[in-house]
Amino acid sequence: MKRLTLAAAVFVFALAATAQEAVRPEVGKPLQAAADLIKAKRYREALAKVDQADAVPGKTAAEDALVERMRLSAALAAGDNDRAAKAFEALAAAGRIPQAEQLRIMESLAGGYWRANDKAKAVQWAQRHLREGGTSASMRQLLAAAQAESGDYGAIARQLQAEVAEAEKAGRVPPEDRLKSLAYAQQQINDTAGYVATIEKLAVHYPNKDYWADLITRLQRTPNFSSRYQLDIYRLKLATGNLTQANDYLEMAQLAVQARLSPEAMKVVQAGYAARVLGTGPEAARHQRLKALVEAELARDKESLPSDLDDAQAARGGDALVAVGFRYVMAGDAAKGTTLIEQGIAKGQLKRPDEAQLRLGIAQLRAGNKAKGTKTLRAIKGGGDGAGELAHLYALQGAKG
């Protein structure tokens, strides 16, 4: 349909030009006959009439241009790509086609050659379209498809990276299908860093639990990743829809209880019951026992929190204050918790400064301060235990939220 629409536009332009230019009858008569045949969709017969006009000797430059215009229109409509390309080149060389129209014709020729299974010429015209200033997404897709058939995934990755960069520079979100194609190409050429960066873009712009599952799994495989952050792994899984097994809910709740984060443990248990993952099946009684344990710990922690805060403020180092502050965050008072964590960090003598900053970044996000939270998290480089990589994913999750 697009090819015929463009051919019609070229045809209208040719008729308008014919009316304005001085044309001798021996040239004009067969061209008019060609125009009538194009209207009747008898494109091959129209081409024969164009050839008849072209055979007239001593044509002026204007007559030559009109002949090529009519030939281009008929050839595009007929799917005669070679004749259309030849007519186009003649008109372009004579300066008879505006640049914008040239780009549309190049796109049509590329598509015509692709449909005719002449992939080499299709690629040539698509590349020329883009090289001369065209921005057609279909031309980029054509090139990517041609490269995929050739197995040149390096070229595909470069082409798609250019598309993504162009979209981002213009303030647009790159299309999901282009990002997925880029990630696949990067996988094929073992560009792990590029692949992860692309999956991160997908996870932020097109939240999907599978993208996040990929990122979280890679995080867990980070060399020397500390088991101290297992609860954080579960937090990311829960937030991204990747906590699905009863044992995961149970372990996350138990880890939260051990960390004296019983309000979080209760939310996990409630989420498990709401999802009908807990409270059903042969393990239902076990699930109920865990729920009772969490309820008891919740009451105990609530009662002890004020005195624990006093002890933390009296402590020489800041670790206890950071821990108590995070308990306030998970109990629902993120503003107070954030202040306490900041005070703990200011005290110094921290056993794990990166982990304290991680807790601060999470607290700031939960307090609704997205900009400050992501800034805090992105500043964490880590010391090889996975804190930096974990902070990076929390920052991505914060940017998504």
Q: Which amino acid is at 246?
A: A
Per residue of the chain (401 residues), what is the pLDDT tens digit?
Answer: 344 455 444 544 454 444 455 789 999 999 999 999 999 999 999 999 999 999 999 999 989 999 999 999 999 989 999 999 999 999 999 888 889 899 999 999 999 999 999 888 998 899 899 888 888 888 988 888 887 787 788 988 998 898 899 889 989 999 998 899 899 999 999 999 999 999 999 999 998 999 999 999 999 998 889 999 999 999 999 999 999 999 999 999 999 999 999 999 999 999 999 999 999 999 999 999 999 999 999 999 999 999 999 999 999 999 999 999 999 999 999 999 999 999 999 999 999 999 999 999 999 999 999 999 999 999 998 778 899 999 999 999 886 64
Q: Which residues contact 379 (CB under 8 A, 6 or more apart)?
A: 357
Q: Where are the domains of the chain?
A: 1-97, 227-400
Give the closest residue to 257 by CA, choosing from 309, 305, 304, 293. 293
Give the closest residue to 353 by CA, choosing from 331, 333, 376. 376
Q: Which residues contact 257 (CB under 8 A, 6 or more apart)?
A: 265, 293, 294, 297
Burial class (CB in 10 A: 0-12, 13-18, 19+), 88: buried
Q: How far apart are CA 7 and CA 12, in angstroms?
A: 9
Considering only the top CATH level, what class is 227-400?
mainly alpha
DSSP string, 118-177: -HHHHHHHHHHHHHTT---HHHHHHHHHHHHHHT-HHHHHHHHHHHHHHHHHTTPPPPHH
Give the closest residue to 65 by CA, choosing from 89, 34, 99, 42. 89
Q: Which residues contact 210 (CB under 8 A, 6 or more apart)?
A: none
* b/e map 381-393, b = 16+ CB within 10 Å: ebeebbbbbbbbb
Structure tokens at 30: 């067969």
Q: Which amino acid is at 177?
A: D
